[in-house]
């Protein structure tokens, strides 16, 4: 038995002056009580109680130890109550890891809405574009592509999905001679990809049941979609980007869609909400999770 449990039993035995009465009050067997006291005395190498057939009484050192036990158990109870209260309060810090593109494009109104609802919460944001272990790195919540979550015990909930389209700047289309609806042209032009595409990215372009599978090896890579977007606008090559990330650029004509007669098929990309565990969530984490889940999220960038 643990030391705190043994102390609790000792105090009850001292208060009730009997092993049977202590066992009944604590809802345990007399043998458990007897064993706890025996182990406690052996641990301390002192006799705490004098036993007779009629009653149990404290030794002199037992009375001193009883007072110390009361203080210790009282402090533990106070600490537990304080921790439970803080856990139940929506206040304090919350550490959030967020994919950079999603953070810059979508997160500000979400955070603003949460902060308005819970003014006593301090939000600590970390923008990143890499794999993340929430438990190891001490984050409460992460909003990242699901492939980026490495901690096996984390809860992962998809909150937005998106598909990509092939795009380039008008200047690059002209200078490279890229034909807008000839998929094979993509394999001989400058592809701007993510770091995860460095060894090649397989995509299928489908039109009227005709599928053409290409392997695109990037000339340029970046670890952030916004950088890929900027490089594309600059005319450094073509890229595969979520339409929601480039709506303004498509509308202004700074980039144009490629292969419009085809659909780009590849593994669905998504943004997920991840947190360490469903059990024992602090109120600040639980309310943020509920806030994100309840927020209307259109398909967005990763």
Verify that 174 and 246 share a domain, yes or no. yes
The answer to whether position 302 is within a domain reads: no
pLDDT tens digits along 95-124: 999 988 788 878 899 999 999 988 989 999
Q: In the prediction, which pLDDT does 280 show? A: 63
Whole-Å CA distances, 283 to 273, 280, 287, 291 = 16, 9, 6, 12
What's the average model confidence in pLDDT over 150-154?
A: 81
Largest CA distance in the chain: 104
The answer to whether position 197 is within a domain reads: yes
Q: Do 59 and 48 form a contact (C-beta atoms < 8 A)?
A: yes
Q: Do 169 and 235 form a contact (C-beta atoms < 8 A)?
A: yes
| CA pseudo-torsion sign 140, 141, 146, 148 | negative
Verify that 22 and 69 share a domain, yes or no. yes
Verify that 65 and 132 share a domain, yes or no. no
pLDDT tens digits along 36-88: 999 999 999 999 998 877 778 899 998 999 999 988 988 888 777 766 665 55
The answer to whether position 287 is within a domain reads: yes
The answer to whether position 301 is within a domain reads: no
Q: In the prediction, which pLDDT does 297 show? A: 59
Q: In the prediction, which pLDDT does 301 show? A: 47
Report the predicted TM-score, pTM, of the whole model to 2 decimal places: 0.57
Verify that 119 and 27 share a domain, yes or no. no
Q: Residue 69 sits in a domain of what CATH number?
A: 1.10.10.10
What's the average model confidence in pLDDT over 242-250?
A: 87
Enter the tokens of residue 113. 């809405």
Verify that 189 and 251 share a domain, yes or no. yes
The domain total for the chain is: 3
The answer to whether position 300 is within a domain reads: no
Q: In the prediction, which pLDDT does 96 show? A: 94
The C-alpha atoms of residue 226 and residue 234 are separated, in whole angstroms, by 12
Q: Do 224 and 197 form a contact (C-beta atoms < 8 A)?
A: no
Enter the tokens of residue 84. 């439970």
Enter the tokens of residue 94. 């919350």
The C-alpha atoms of residue 104 and residue 3 are separated, in whole angstroms, by 52
Verify that 155 and 168 share a domain, yes or no. no
Boundaries of domain holding 41: 3-85
Q: In the prediction, which pLDDT does 278 show? A: 62
Q: Residue 142 sits in a domain of what CATH number?
A: 3.40.190.10
Verify that 178 and 148 share a domain, yes or no. no
Verify that 283 and 145 share a domain, yes or no. yes
Q: In the prediction, which pLDDT does 300 show? A: 46
């Amino acid at each position: 038995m643990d030391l705190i449990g043994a102390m609790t039993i000792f105090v009850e035995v001292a208060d009730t002056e009997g092993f049977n009465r202590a066992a009944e009050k604590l809802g345990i067997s007399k043998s458990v009580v007897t064993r706890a006291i025996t182990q406690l005395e052996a641990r301390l190498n002192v006799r705490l109680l004098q036993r007779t057939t009629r009653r149990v009484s404290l030794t002199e050192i037992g009375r001193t130890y009883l007072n110390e036990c009361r203080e210790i158990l009282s402090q533990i109870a106070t600490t537990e109550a304080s921790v439970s209260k803080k856990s139940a309060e929506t206040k304090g810090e919350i550490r959030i890891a967020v994919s950079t593109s999603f953070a810059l494009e979508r997160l500000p109104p979400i955070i603003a809405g949460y902060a308005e609802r819970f003014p006593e919460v301090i939000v600590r944001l970390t923008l990143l574009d890499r794999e993340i272990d929430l438990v190891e790195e001490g984050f409460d919540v992460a909003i990242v592509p699901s492939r980026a979550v490495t901690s096996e015990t984390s809860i992962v909930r998809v909150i937005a999905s998106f598909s990509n389209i092939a795009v380039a700047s008008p200047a690059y289309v002209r200078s490279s001679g890229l034909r807008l609806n000839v998929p094979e042209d993509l394999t001989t032009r400058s592809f701007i990809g993510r770091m995860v595409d460095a060894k090649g990215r397989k995509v299928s372009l489908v039109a009227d049941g005709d599928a053409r599978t290409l392997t695109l090896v990037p000339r340029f890579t970046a670890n952030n979609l916004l950088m890929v977007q900027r490089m594309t606008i600059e005319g450094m090559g073509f890229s595969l980007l979520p339409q929601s990330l480039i709506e303004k650029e498509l509308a202004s004509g700074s980039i144009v869609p490629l292969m419009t007669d085809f659909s780009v098929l590849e593994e669905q990309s998504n943004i997920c909400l991840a947190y360490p565990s469903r059990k024992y969530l602090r109120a600040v984490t639980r309310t943020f999770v509920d806030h994100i889940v309840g927020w209307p999220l259109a398909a967005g960038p990763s």
